[in-house]
Amino acid sequence: MTSFVSKLNLEDFSLWKKIEDHRVPLDFYLEITARCNNNCRHCFINLPEGDVEAQNKELTLAEISDIADQAVELGTMWCLLTGGEPLLREDFFEIYLALKKKGLLLSLFTNACLVTEEHIAFFKKYPPQYIEVSVYGISEEVYERVTRKPGSYANFRHGLDLLFESGIKIKLKTMALRSNFNELSEIAKFCREHSDSTFRFDPLLHLRYDQDPLRNNQIRQERLTSDEIVAIEKADEERSMALQNNCAHFIFSDNYRVDDDFLFHCGAGKSSFTVSYDGFFRLCFGLWHPDTIYNLRNGTLEEAWNHHIPKIRNIRSTNPEFLRICQNCPIVNLCLNCPAHAYLETGSMDAVVPYFCQVAHARATALEEAIKEKG
């Protein structure tokens, strides 16, 4: 007997072929709040839990639902709920369910501290694709050095245990910080032992979206040196293999040279977008330059996707120094520089950022050595 129904295999789904020649916003990040119960030293977004002004600016359930309707209309399949700490929203369950009922496949970023039995029962009934939890430390001392919130470690471990027991798919990640540097290898070990999905850590600390100078200084203090980053990447076998396999054929060769002066060579605005807690559409989650954002409260997602993005992707660099140094850079694939990051660092989307340059060159040297060693 023939079968009419089949399990959809996302890897060879006929949709991908259909959308090869045009842009479809397949997924988006939705920051439902900028507020957080923690106060991490390195955080680029968090505002205090009780910040009434920030709370008043948050998209309402009705606004979120409307944006999601527009996204679904444009073909969106996935939505990642993030923050701040998304579980701080009193209407979190309503938001989650409203999005889910539109047929969106949901995932969640959380620090796990606020997870209760009630959340677990809810997620078991309405499963997310996965829940990703940040592990800033696996000792009270280190975790709370990062979060600056007494008692947060106990809450984190409790929430995490509840999540582990629930059988929901959990992904773990960490940030490599000055404050947890000495514990990083144990954090990595803990994450690998407790989660099947690939653990990842991020060495790049974004500067603040609100450009708060005091907080930016604190973030800079948390940054590791280029040598330290390379040392962790080397020690972290999985990651250094990935770097070698992906990058070796890109670097030390001429094949990445670009001979145009367009600012964007990345995937920003090709298949995903981000919405801020107060309704600003961004091409990617770090891109905050005022010329590139679009207020969804005064417009439509269709306008943002189909008319705003092409204008942004057409922006060209006019900075001769940037064009001379970065445009033809052979190790650009190892570099953290991009229009979003450059803007957060310098206020301009086309700038050479010395810290990024150091990290990229240190990575290149390490790679070269690794490749030589292997023969």
C-beta closer to ligand SF4: residue 70 or 319:
319
Stretch that binds another protein, among 10-18, 263-271, 307-315, 358-366 (CB under 8 A): 10-18
Which of 251, 234, 224, 245 minimizes the C-alpha distance to 332? Answer: 251
Question: Please, what is the minimum distance in Å from the beta carbon of residue 151 to ligand SF4?
Answer: 14
Does residue 6 touch another protein according to CB under 8 A? yes
Report the residue from 23, 24, 265, 365 that binds another protein according to the rule CB under 8 A: 24
The binder of 357, among ligand SF4, another protein, none, by C-beta within 5 to 8 A per type, is ligand SF4
Tokens of 228: 């330290």
Q: Is 101 helix (H, G, I), strand (E, B) or coil?
A: coil
Does residue 197 touch another protein according to CB under 8 A? no
Question: Please, what is the minimum distance in Å from the beta carbon of residue 74 to another protein?
Answer: 9
Distances in whole angstroms, Cα of residue 246 to Cα of each of 240, 241, 334, 367:
10, 8, 10, 11
- Which residues, at least 6 apart from 300, have a Cβ–Cβ distance to it below 8 Å? 70
Can you point out the beta strands (E) in 70-169? Answer: 78-82, 105-110, 130-134
Question: Please, what is the minimum distance in Å from the beta carbon of residue 127 to ligand SF4?
Answer: 23
Question: Please, what is the minimum distance in Å from the beta carbon of residue 238 to ligand SF4?
Answer: 23
Which positions lie near ligand SF4, rule CB under 6 A? 36, 38-40, 43, 46, 83-85, 111, 134, 147, 325-326, 329, 331-332, 335, 337, 352-353, 356-357, 360
Report the residue from 51, 66, 93, 102 that binds another protein according to the rule CB under 8 A: 102
Can you point out the beta strands (E) in 218-367? Answer: 272-275, 280-282, 294-295
Stretch that binds another protein, among 17-25, 37-45, 155-163, 259-267 (CB under 8 A): 17-25
C-beta closer to ligand SF4: residue 38 or 180:
38
Give the C-alpha separation, 72 to 78, whole Å. Answer: 9
Q: With beta carbons less than 8 A apart as the criterion, state whether 84 and 277 touch.
A: yes
Does residue 126 touch another protein according to CB under 8 A? yes
C-beta closer to ligand SF4: residue 76 or 147:
147
The binder of 105, among ligand SF4, another protein, none, by C-beta within 5 to 8 A per type, is another protein
Report the residue from 60, 94, 124, 198 that binds another protein according to the rule CB under 8 A: 124
Does residue 162 touch another protein according to CB under 8 A? no
Does residue 13 touch another protein according to CB under 8 A? yes
Q: With beta carbons less than 8 A apart as the criterion, state whether 229 and 362 touch.
A: yes
Stretch that binds another protein, among 12-20, 218-226, 242-250, 332-340 (CB under 8 A): 12-20
Q: With beta carbons less than 8 A apart as the criterion, state whether 130 and 89 touch.
A: no
Question: Please, what is the minimum distance in Å from the beta carbon of residue 7 to another protein?
Answer: 6
C-beta closer to another protein: residue 168 or 287:
168
Q: Identify residues 44-83 at the interface with another protein (CB under 8 A).
A: 72, 75, 77
- Which residues, at least 6 apart from 224, have a Cβ–Cβ distance to it below 8 Å? 176, 177, 178, 181, 203, 232
Give the C-alpha separation, 211 to 190, whole Å. Answer: 33
Q: With beta carbons less than 8 A apart as the criterion, state whether 360 and 334 touch.
A: yes
Question: Please, what is the minimum distance in Å from the beta carbon of residue 18 to another protein?
Answer: 5
- Which residues, at least 6 apart from 144, have a Cβ–Cβ distance to it below 8 Å? 137, 150, 151, 152, 153
Distance of CA 7 to the CA centre of its chain: 29
Query: Which residue type occupies 363?
Result: R
Binding site for another protein (CB under 8 A): 1-8, 10, 13-15, 18-19, 24, 72, 75, 77, 100-105, 124-127, 129, 169
